[in-house]
Amino acid sequence: MKKLTRHFIAGSLLCLSLGAGAQNADLARAEEIVGGRCFLCHGLKGESASAVFPRLAGQHWEYIAKQLADFKSGKRASETMKPQTEDLTPAEMKALGHFFEAKVVGPRPARDKELLAVGKFIFERGNQFSGLAACSTCHGPKGLGTPQLPRLAGQHPRYIEDQLKQFNKRERTNDNAVMHTIASKLSELETHAVAEYIATLD
C-alpha cells in the first residue's frame, strides 16, 4: 500500500511539474505566432494538411524548441525555416513547443496491409541481415519518442521518407548521428514501408 502511495505522489508531482512548465510558457504569444506564420505550413493545430511539412501536434516541446533553435543558428539547414525563426526568442520557442505538444492529431488509416507488415517488422525488429536496428529501440514501441528523440507516431509518410534520405546523404546533421547509419542501411522498400507504418501509429 505504501509503495502504491509513493507512486501516486510521484505521479502527481510529475503532472504538477509538467503543468507548471506549460503555464510558464506564454501560450497566448505562441498562438499569435502560429496564426501569423506557422499555420501556413503546419496548420493552426499542428495537423499539417501537406505531406511535405511535418505534423507538430503531440510532438515533445523540448524537441520542437531545439529544432527551432537549430534552424535559427543554421545547425539544421532549411531555406524555409531559417527566416521564420530568426526573430524568435528562446522563450517563444519554448512556448511554441508547449502549444503544439498539447494538440492532438490522429493516425492515418492503414492502406496496403502487406506493405504495412514489412514496415511493422522493420520498426519493431529491424533487419538482422543488413545490421539495421529496430526503430522502436530509440523511438519506443508506439513511436512516441522522448524529449530528446522525436515522436514519430502519426507523422506524414512523405516527410519521414524525406528526413531519412537527408540523414542518409548527411544533409541533416543536427540530430543523433546514429541516424546516418540507420538511414544508410534502409533499402528503398524498407524506407517506404516503415514510413507508411509509422503513419498508422497513434
Would you give per-residue pLDDT tens digits along the chain (202 residues)?
444 444 444 454 444 444 555 667 899 999 999 999 999 999 999 999 899 999 999 999 999 999 999 999 999 999 999 999 999 999 999 999 999 999 998 999 988 999 999 999 999 999 999 999 999 999 999 999 999 999 999 999 999 999 999 999 999 999 989 999 999 999 999 999 999 999 999 9
pLDDT score, position 21:
56
Same fold, 19-101 and 113-199: yes
- CATH number for region 113-199: 1.10.760.10
CB neighbour list of residue 85: distance below 8 Å, 6 or more residues apart: 68, 69, 71, 72, 93
What pLDDT shows up at residue 195?
Answer: 98
pLDDT of residue 125: 98
pLDDT of residue 16: 47
| CA pair distance 100, 108, nearest whole angstrom | 19
123 vs 157: CA distance, rounded Å: 14
Amino acid 124: pLDDT = 98
**DSSP per-residue letters across the chain:** -HHHHHHHHHHHHHHHHHHHHHHHS-HHHHHHHIIIIIHHHH-TTS--SSTTS---TT--HHHHHHHHHHHHHTSS--TTHHHHHTT--HHHHHHHHHHHHT---PPPPP--HHHHHHHHHHHHH-BTTTTBPPTHHHH-TTS---SSS---TT--HHHHHHHHHHHHTT---SS-THHHHHHHH--HHHHHHHHHHHHT--
Report domain 19-101's class.
mainly alpha
| pLDDT for residue 176 | 87
Domain boundaries, the chain: 19-101, 113-199
Please check whether residue 76 is in contact with residue 179, taking contact to mean a CB–CB distance below 8 angstroms: no
